[in-house]
Structure 1
């Protein structure tokens, strides 16, 4: 039985890593800046009761807590949260545990720095620039020319992203340049955004998510998730189809692994987003952790084994997962038809064996709106099988048959008024 140090939770409430640890017979401790955030959630608190300990470090001032962390004798450390990946790498280095090295962890948290490193390694990059402030943003957009995408250099989760495709978008940008240039401000967990924006070429093509695991500089591609978006101006993903890697992605693997090698990615999981264009693959970004938004469940369904268990094994023993037979797994997301407060979500019962699960993430009373970014999604439908068209059709039928009731703000949902 091994003792795992788990650093924060992805999404602030995703306990799948806890479940995988306990299922494999391991013990775990949670390291967090705010234990109250987790204990206040009815679905998370019972999992904390099963932890060996919860180490709370206000402000995540790790240097002040290293002695107490080291005294717990951990066998591995796992982080699925972008905002803590650098501190986790430093803790791992201090404790002699397998993890992504601190230099690459820091590099991967700056999208512009990644582009610069790849260019130095001879991997072609699109036109891009880093901007600070309203006037710099407008001048940079004018200089680079359309189409462009604007996003925080340290962003994640497809949030705070703006696409500039035509003259109308430029008019809107000039009207909103001040707030856009200010960026997200605060990412939560007490982490402030850097305040810089990356402006880069916007490519047409097929967006894919490539999920990899690495050990001692050797890489394995687990699968490729082809993503679908809601119509512009939304940047939310409405679903995707993950296809397991059974050796059919040779050319893509070579390119992906060259990217990972160029930034010194030596250990851990990575979620690499790539736009497949008529001129070949174009990097969108490298996320130095396992994919979020419950997509590890998609990987697990398609590979018929737990992605979290593989990640734990990677950090404990340095073992890379093996490739699995060809399989598809599909998601389709549920979203609000209008802005307001969520009253109810009614899902029709299904008995199709290809249905993996229907999961609701939002609760009655939550403020909701039609999807502008991924934070607006209410839940998902997941299906799996060898016939891609059939499982996609099944997922879409379930979404279409789901009734989502939204009421205006101010309506009493308690039934007492």
Structure 2
């Protein structure tokens, strides 16, 4: 175990140690919350090199960091720190975090249902066995079998996607057998955003209805509902259904209570007793049906923004649930957020392509100056290549907006649409027909 930075606070046997596995993207918000409750942090990297599809984690908040090679060795290294918690910082760390937590004897969701929490086919079949509403589906590494399933089902569209990816990676909405074949071939020929080969592809019935996000934090099987967000997506001619924006519902608005109850039942079926979860659910005419759930914090998590619009955030509540479960149970378990302001998280798409030469600071300043903009994350910098948006990772900006006035949000979202493609100055700019 190699220290990555000088200790920034006293450490010793009386300070609890928390292990984060693969703290990419929004996982960066977890270390300060655990540190604020008096914990030291250790980072575990599940792969030999950092994953190029995501910015590398900042290791400066950690007492130490290690690169996982062998479970027995990693367990021995971590046991010397006597950790009180092990959890995934983001999706690629879920499997390893389950193993390490179980082996180290800290609060864990266990490994018996780990596959059901990562493999989308196993996930949905686990819900079906529990009597929960879910999509029809088939999986195979044989394109002809996937096409035959879709043809025999005879109801269109269907969805083709990888078994173990995320962020909308290689998810296709297919309207006929030719499109199923094309999508399945593309999935099987590629890798996930986590550099895993797709040996099989998944084909599912299309769930008609509005899609929602349901974020929770659990401790000992008791949960706090952190937010219910309504998705707005954009279907491209290619069949890709890309993220656009999500709007925070009031805790008792429309389908929110039914969605929360369904997700809690799904988490029970999947063996989730501890930690944060990020679920995507379609409210079909027959009721909620799960798209997928990740046992990690939401990708759009931003502590200050969520505190302002929902009165709390997953990162703070996750740290509390692991380090002070009594307080979590007393103040937060079996309760839900209360919306304090109308809020939208927008992930801006683009049809442009080219090498980023510079960031136009005037355009960034113009976006930040919009009255409802609370925060802005740039997803690219000089020297990086901008590609047309086909999933969450190829969106260009993440912008957080909130206001007591929904009309003000609508006006600023319209202006954001005018400014978004001015942020990056591109060399050899091209326009895609996606």
What TM-score does the superposition give when structure 1 sets the normalisation length?
0.85
RMSD of Structure 2 on Structure 1 (CA): 2.9
- Equivalent position of 1:52 in the other structure: 63
Q: Deviations over 1:370-390 (max 9, x none)?
A: 211111112121112333343
Q: Which residues of 2 match residues 136-175 of structure 1 at below 5 A?
A: 136-145=145-154, 146-165=156-175, 167=176, 170-175=177-182
d(CA) in 2 for partners of 1:252, 1:64: 42
SS class of match (1:30): strand
Runs of at least 4 residues off by over 6 Å: none
Would the alpha carbon gap of residues 117 and 55 (structure 1) be closer, same or farther in structure 2, given more than 3 Å must change?
same
SS class of match (1:104): coil
2:370 paired with 1:357:
no
- Equivalent position of 1:8 in the other structure: 22
Q: Which residues of 2 match residues 124-143 of structure 1 at below 5 A?
A: 124-143=133-152
Would the alpha carbon gap of residues 131 and 207 (structure 1) be closer, same or farther in structure 2, given more than 3 Å must change?
same
Q: Which residues of 2 match residues 357-376 of structure 1 at below 5 A?
A: 357-376=375-394
Q: Which residues of 2 match residues 16-415 of structure 1 at below 5 A?
A: 16-33=29-46, 37=50, 47-58=58-69, 61-145=70-154, 146-165=156-175, 167=176, 170-175=177-182, 177-182=184-189, 184-185=190-191, 187-188=193-194, 192-193=196-197, 195-232=199-236, 233-243=239-249, 245=251, 249-294=256-301, 298-318=305-325, 319-320=328-329, 321=332, 322-327=335-340, 328-343=342-357, 344-345=359-360, 346-349=363-366, 350-351=368-369, 354-402=372-420, 403-409=422-428
d(CA) in 2 for partners of 1:27, 1:261: 30
d(CA) in 1 for partners of 2:63, 2:153: 53
Would the alpha carbon gap of residues 50 and 87 (structure 1) be closer, same or farther in structure 2, given more than 3 Å must change?
closer
SS class of match (2:289): strand
The alpha carbon displacement at 1:205 in A equals 1.6
8 A Cα contact 2:165 2:192, kept in partner: no
d(CA) in 2 for partners of 1:128, 1:44: 35
8 A Cα contact 2:21 2:96, kept in partner: no
8 A Cα contact 1:332 1:399, kept in partner: no
Would the alpha carbon gap of residues 176 and 7 (structure 1) be closer, same or farther in structure 2, given more than 3 Å must change?
closer
The alpha carbon displacement at 1:241 in A equals 0.9
Q: How many residues align?
A: 399
Q: Deviations over 1:245-276 (max 9, x none)?
A: 36873333322222222222222111111111
List runs of 5+ in structure 2 lacking aligned partners. 1-14
The alpha carbon displacement at 1:209 in A equals 0.6
The alpha carbon displacement at 1:280 in A equals 1.9
What TM-score does the superposition give when structure 2 sets the normalisation length?
0.82
d(CA) in 2 for partners of 1:175, 1:354: 42
The alpha carbon displacement at 1:304 in A equals 3.5
Q: Deviations over 1:378-405 (max 9, x none)?
A: 2121112333343243244234234134
SS class of match (1:230): strand
d(CA) in 1 for partners of 2:89, 2:60: 20
Q: Deviations over 1:326-357 (max 9, x none)?
A: 23321122333412222334224344663211
The alpha carbon displacement at 1:112 in A equals 1.4
8 A Cα contact 1:235 1:374, kept in partner: no
Would the alpha carbon gap of residues 149 and 6 (structure 1) be closer, same or farther in structure 2, given more than 3 Å must change?
same
